[in-house]
Amino acid sequence: MRKPIIVGNWKMNKTIAATKAFVEAVDPEVTDKADWGIATPYLALQTAKAGAKNLIVAAENVHFKDSGAYTGEVSVEMLKEIGVEWVILGHSERRQYFGETDETVNAKMLQVLKNDMTPIVCVGETLEQYEAGTTKDVVKTQVVAAYKDVCPKCASRSVIAYEPVWAIGTGKTATNEIAQDVCGYIRSVVAELYGQEVADQVRIQYGGSVKPEGLKALLEQPDIDGALVGGASLVEDSYKAMIAALD
C-alpha cells in the first residue's frame, strides 16, 4: 500500500515569522493517515525545520551543480546542511517563468537522488495542450525526460505530481476522473520505463486547486496517492481541514 502524501507548495508566500506561526499551529495536528509536508521559500526553510516534528519540509527548487558561479542559486549541500531532504522539481511556474526545461529537471533529478534527497517532480499540460487533446503525449515526454539515467531504485522512492497548468490557481480542478486517468497513465509510463514493481511504489500526486473538501474523494482514486496543494495549504485552518478530512 502506498501511503498518501500531501504537500503544501507555498510558492512565494509567507515570511519567516508567518512560517513559524503556521508550523506551531499545524505541526501538532498532523496524523499518520498520510505524510504531510510544506514546501517553503528558501529563507523560511530553517525556521520550518526547527519547528516541524511531524511535517516534511521541502524546498521548492535546487540547483543541479554542487557549487560554483551560479548567482542566486542554492545547492543540495546547503539544503542538506539544514536538514532539508525533500525538493519540488520542475513546477510549471518554474518552467513558465524561469526557463526550467526537461533537461534541467533531469539534471536536478539526478543531483537530488544522488544525494539521497527525495524529489517531487511536477508534470502537466497547458490549457492549449489540454484542448488539443495532447495531455498524455505531453506528460509522457516530461516523465521520460525527467527520469533519463535515473536508476530503478531511485525512481521507486521518487514522487511525481501531475499538475494540469490550467487548474493551478484558477479554481478549475480537473475532475477526479480526468486526474485518475492521467495519473494512471503516468504510472503506466513508469511501468514501461522500470517495470510494474517500481511503478507500484512510485507515489503520484494530483495538484491544481485542491481544496480540503475534495481531498478524500481525490485520494480514493486508485492511482492518486496524494496532493500538491497551493492556495489551500497557506491558511492554518484550511491545512488543518485537510488533515481532518482524512481522519
Ligand X SMILES: O=C(CO)COP(=O)(O)O
Whether 163 sits among the annotated catalytic residues: the reply is yes
Question: In residues, how long is the chain?
Answer: 247
Name the residue nearer to ligand X (CB basis): 194 or 209.
209
Annotated binding-site residue numbers: 9-11, 169, 209, 230-231
- Within 8 A by CB and 6+ apart from 128, the residues are none
Q: Can you tell me the distance from the alpha carbon of 149 to that of 128, in angstroms, rounded to the nearest whole number?
A: 30
Smallest distance from the beta carbon of 145 to ligand X, in angstroms?
Answer: 19
What is the tally of helices (H) and strands (E) in the chain? 12, 8
Name the residue nearer to ligand X (CB basis): 83 or 169.
169
Name the residue with the smallest CB distance to ligand X. Answer: 230
Smallest distance from the beta carbon of 67 to ligand X, in angstroms?
Answer: 28
Interface residue list for ligand X (CB under 6 A): 9, 91, 163, 168-169, 207-210, 228-232
Here the cell at position 169 is: 490557481
Annotated binding-site residue numbers for substrate: 9-11, 169, 209, 230-231
Name the residue nearer to ligand X (CB basis): 198 or 218.
218
Smallest distance from the beta carbon of 164 to ligand X, in angstroms?
Answer: 10
Whether 63 sits among the annotated catalytic residues: the reply is no
Ramachandran area for residue 171 (φ above 0: left; ψ -120 to 50: alpha; else beta): left
Which residue among the candidates 60, 93, 125, 163 is catalytic per the annotation? 163
Name the residue nearer to ligand X (CB basis): 47 or 209.
209
Which residue among the candidates 63, 91, 100, 125 is catalytic per the annotation? 91
Q: How far is CA 56 from CA 20, 30, 79, 216, 223, in A?
A: 14, 10, 13, 20, 22
* Burial class (CB within 10 angstroms; exposed 0-12, middle 13-18, buried 19+) of 162: buried
Smallest distance from the beta carbon of 152 to ligand X, in angstroms?
Answer: 26
Q: Can you tell me the distance from the alpha carbon of 205 to that of 160, in angstroms, rounded to the nearest whole number?
A: 6
Catalytically active residues, by annotation = 91, 163
